[in-house]
Structure 1
Amino acid sequence: MHRRRRTALVLTAAIAAAAPLLTACGNDAHPGAAAVVGGQRITVSQLDERVGEVRAAQRAAVQDEAQYQQAIARTGTLTRDTLQTMLLDRVLHRAAQDAGVTVSRKEIQAMRSGLEQQAGGAKALERTWLQQYGIPPQRLDENLRLQLEAQKLAEKLGTDTGRPEFWKALSDASKDLNIDLNPRYGTWDVQKSSRADAKTPWVRDVTAAQTQQGM
């Protein structure tokens, strides 16, 4: 159980192992694309729609315009962070598939129930994910699936996300997917082990919560 609770802790660093294989693409090659993953485009309009989901949730969660503007200010890099999450989701899912890893609805619900207990209820958990991580309520289960896939992939490999074996699995998946990132949304920095401005704090926080729950 100790390994399982640790697996997502350094997921941000792990996904960065794929950085040398994630290359920038120009608008001329893929017009209208925010990124191309496995030959499939994540269009700018699809990205904008996902960002709009977050903004709509933020608008519904606050009482006045001043609070809404504060929420926007706290998530100023929302578009790039959202694209980061979308790419991470596909890379991890491909790596999990390649390893024969699956995540069931029951497992997602079990994880969600535990987090809801810690947060003080379903609404409180949704509010936390929105405020701290920019994940709207309708995307919460997708986010938890991402966590579980990372954990189970590491277990399948007999390692954890801080080990080269896990990094290689993500790198291989990224290479197979042949990801092209539109430069307007940033670049992958190998030295920093991340996209230049990308952060996924929810990875660490979820793992910390699971660790506390298991104590």
Structure 2
Amino acid sequence: MSRTSRSVPVDSAHRRRRSAARTRVAAVGLVLVTGFALAGCSDSKAGAAATVGGDRIEISTLNAKVDKLEQAFTRNNLSLAGTSAQLEANQAELVQLISRRVVDEAARRNHVALNATQVLQARRALEARLGSPEALQVRLLQTGVLPGEVDEFVRTEALKREIAKARGIQLDSAEAQAQLNGYLSDVASSMKITVNPRYGAWDSAKLSTTPATYSWLAAGTQPAAPGLVEVPPGAESGT
């Protein structure tokens, strides 16, 4: 009995030491994760995924969009699996957020705007072209546009066409599209856009981001550079 009674404190102390060790390991892991999350924020304040003309796009806003995108992919039996895919989704969603602000600024400078009726008409035209509202949602979802953001996508694409008209650009060829993109690039260059290096670097000439690279990802699995979200083929005549 005496031996047993002496062994109890020893076991308790051992458990406490093991518990303390696990706590230290967990704390170190948290520091490492937090360090990665906040790494490379010199060009943007901590908490900002990007700044556009002084306006912040919060990391929390971007993360919420990607979470909703993953949920929408799951509901539609689409795949958004793996670290590289998640990183690509983050960059692509950020490009959308930035590009919308660029188009809005270009529209303001050219004194063009769209009302709700015009946006609805443009959306109905796209839905008719693709066969149904659901078909449009699925088509755009595959390019990273959430179902709840279809109107915003349609408005942005329609604004591009109105900007082109205001500048005398007829969007009937690849050269004309390049001319419009060149103008939007000039607008973007004047807006002081910076991106948190965690998501790459902003390239005004391409209206996109160059992909971030991560040493802990194997070669060949780095995220690809996100492209512009374009209106479905043939939809330019929708408005």
TM value normalised by structure 1: 0.72
Structure 1 position 172, deviation (Å): 4.3
Where 1:133 maps in the other structure, the secondary structure is coil
Give the counterpart letter for 1:137 in structure 2. Answer: P
Distance in 1 (CA, whole Å) between partners of 2:237 and 2:108 is 29
- From the two aligned structures, give the one with the greater helix fraction: 1
* Ranges in structure 2 where 5+ consecutive residues have no aligned partner: 1-39, 211-224
The residue aligned with 1:72 is 81
1:79 partner letter: N
Query: 2:67 matched to 1:58?
Result: no
Q: Compare CA radii of gyration and give the structure with the larger one.
A: 2
Query: Any idea what the Cα deviations from partners look like across 1:131-177, whole Å, max 9, x if unmatched?
Result: x2121110111011110111100100001574586456424432442
The AA in structure 2 aligned to 1:33 is: A
Asked if the contact 2:185–2:204 (Cα under 8 Å) also holds between the matched residues in 1, the reply is no
Provide the identity percentage: 27
Query: Is 1:42 aligned with 2:52?
Result: no
Is the CA contact 1:95–1:172 (under 8 Å) kept in the aligned structure 2? no
Aligned equivalent of 1:107: 118
Name the Cα RMSD after superposition.
2.8
Number of equivalenced pairs = 179
Residue number in structure 1 paired with 2:220 = none
Runs (4 or more) in structure 1 with deviation over 6 Å come to 190-193
Deviation digits for residues 41-72 of structure 1, max 9, x if unmatched?
A: 1011111011112112122223xxxxx5x343
Give the secondary-structure state (helix, strand or coil) at the position aligned to 2:136. helix
SS at match of 1:42: strand
Unaligned runs of 5+ in 1: 1-25, 63-67
Spell out the pairing of 1:1-215 with structure 2 (5 A cutoff).
26-28=40-42, 29-62=44-77, 70-72=79-81, 75-76=85-86, 77-130=88-141, 132-160=142-170, 162=175, 166-167=180-181, 169-188=183-202, 194-196=208-210, 197-200=225-228, 202-203=229-230, 205-206=231-232, 208-210=233-235
Residue by residue, what CA displacement relative to the aligned partner does 1:160-195 show, whole Å, maximum 9, x if unpaired?
574586456424432442111111111245787743
